[in-house]
Amino acid sequence: MLRTFALLFTIFLIGIAYGQGKIACVDTNRILQESKLVAQAQKELRDKLIEYQTQLSGKEKKLQELKKQIESKAISQKAKEEKIKEYQRIESEARTLQEKAQKELADMKQRLENMVYNRVKEAAEKLAKERGYAGVMDCAVFIYKESGMDITTEVIRLIDASVPKK
């Protein structure tokens, strides 16, 4: 069964290669590791995560301080009630902040992934049109490929062209 599928898939690829033109491929793992655009997107996401972690850490510290004050024997009942209300308020703020952070980070991650994907797609499409490729696939789908098929370096160069140099 697997051999039949592999044979049919190979015949399909050969048909495309000889029937319509050349095929190229990109190594998506290499793009993720080497691209300045990807590194910039990851840094942006990481910075936002650190910002939220710092805010949540501050809330956690405040909650710990309030808990100690609430548990203290030297505090009046009225002061204890006020501390409990403040604790509940800060705890609610922390939950809200955590939910906001999760949503914003997920949205940001999706937006950055889409941006990177679209830039890679545009670069691959541009190279395919310039060089007469019938299609561009991920290099991982090939069991064997000629070295000339891999256009990853050129794709990285194109997508990183707009990244500001430091």
What is the C-alpha separation between 150 and 133, in angstroms, rounded?
Answer: 12
Per-residue pLDDT of the chain (166 residues; tens, 9 = 90+): 445 444 445 555 555 445 456 899 999 999 999 999 999 999 999 999 999 999 999 999 999 999 998 888 888 888 888 989 999 999 999 999 999 999 999 999 999 999 999 999 999 999 999 999 999 999 888 888 888 899 999 999 999 997 776 5
Distances (CA, A) of 69 to 49, 58, 79: 30, 17, 9
The confidence score (pLDDT) of residue 95 equals 96
Q: Is there a domain that residue 4 lies in? A: no
The confidence score (pLDDT) of residue 76 equals 87
Q: Is there a domain that residue 48 lies in? A: yes
Q: Identify the CATH number of the domain in which residue 121 sits.
A: 3.30.910
Q: Is there a domain that residue 68 lies in? A: yes
The confidence score (pLDDT) of residue 6 equals 46
Q: Is there a domain that residue 9 lies in? A: no
What is the C-alpha separation between 152 and 29, in angstroms, rounded?
Answer: 10
Q: Is there a domain that residue 13 lies in? A: no
Quote the radius of gyration of the chain (alpha carbons, Å).
27
* Total domains present in the chain: 1
Structure tokens at 54: 């710092």
